[in-house]
Chain A
Amino acid sequence: TQLLEQSPQFLSIQEGENLTVYCNSSSVFSSLQWYRQEPGEGPVLLVTVVTGGEVKKLKRLTFQFGDARKDSSLHITAAQTGDTGLYLCAGVPSSDAGNMLTFGGGTRLMVKP
C-alpha cells in the first residue's frame, strides 16, 4: 500500500473539459505539495497546501487540502493541451521525524485538442 494514493492513474479528456484528481492517505500530513512533471524533465512545484481545509488557486487550477490533512485534490477548469503532464502529490507525514518527501504514483493527464 502506497503512503499517498493518487487517482485516477490516467485521464484523457478533451480541451475545455473540467477535471479533478485526488491524492489520499491514511496518514496526516503537515503539508502536501503538488508537482507537475513533463516528459524528459524533473517535477516542478505547483503549490504547497498547509492548513486543513485550505483552498489555493493558480489560474485555472484549484488545490484543496482536506480538513483532516489526509487528502488533497486538484481541480482544473477548462483544461488546455498545455495542461498535459504527470501530476504528483508529495509530502512528509506529520508522524515522520525525518525529511523524506514521499511521492504518490501520479495522475497522467492527457488533454486532446
Chain B
Amino acid sequence: EPEVTQTPSHQVTQMGQEVILRCVPISNHLYFYWYRQILGQKVEFLVSFYNNEISEKSEIFDDQFSVERPDGSNFTLKIRSTKLEDSAMYFCASSGVLAANNSPLHFGNGTRLTVT
C-alpha cells in the first residue's frame, strides 16, 4: 500500500538555525498538509497545500515557516530560525480530495525535531 515517507526521522538543531523537513506524499494525491505534535499534546494543523500554493494555514504557521513542492514528488517544510518551542513531531500528510469532503488523511511517521 502506498505510503507517505518523511525524512529525517529525527533532526537535532541549534536555536536560530534553519531546518528543512522533507516529505514524499502518496503519488496520486493532490492535497498536502503539515501537522505538528508537541510531546504530550494534541496534533495541531499547520498548513495545507494544493495546486502549488498554500490553501490554508493556522496561527502557528507564522513567517518563520514556509512550504514548497520543489519537484513532482517532494513536499518540504522549512523553519527559518528555529526556537526552542519548535521542538515537536512534525507530520506530513496527503489526501486525494479535500479533507473537508470526508477524505482521510494519510500520515507519514513524522520527523522528531529537537531544538537545543
Pick the interface stretch among A15-23, A54-62, A74-82, A97-105: A97-105
How far in angstroms is the closest Cβ of chain A from B97? 10
| Known A33-B104, A42-B108, A92-B100: A100·B58 in contact at CB below 8 Å | yes
Chain B residue contacts of A103, Cβ below 8 A: 35, 42-45
- The size bracket of the interface on A is 20 to 34
Which A residues between 69 and 113 are near B, CB-CB below 8 angstroms?
88, 90, 92, 96, 98-106
Q: Which of B35, B45, B105 contacts A45 (CB 8 A)?
A: B105
| Known A2-B42, A88-B43: A42·B100 in contact at CB below 8 Å | no
A53 in the interface (beta carbon within 8 A): no
- The size bracket of the interface on B is 20 to 34
The CA-CA distance from A48 to B4 in the complex, in Å, is: 20
A30 in the interface (beta carbon within 8 A): yes
Which A residues between 5 and 50 are near B, CB-CB below 8 angstroms?
30-31, 33, 37, 40-45, 48, 50
Q: Which of A40, A43, A98 contacts B100 (CB 8 A)?
A: A98
**CB <8 Å contact, A92 and B99:** yes
**CB <8 Å contact, A42 and B109:** yes
Chain A residue contacts of B102, Cβ below 8 A: 30-31, 33, 48, 50
The CA-CA distance from A1 to B93 in the complex, in Å, is: 26
**CB <8 Å contact, A96 and B100:** yes
B91 in the interface (beta carbon within 8 A): yes
| A-B pairs with beta carbons under 8 Å apart, 16 shown | A33-B102, A41-B109, A42-B4, A42-B93, A42-B108, A45-B106, A48-B102, A48-B104, A88-B43, A96-B100, A99-B99, A101-B99, A101-B105, A103-B43, A103-B45, A106-B42
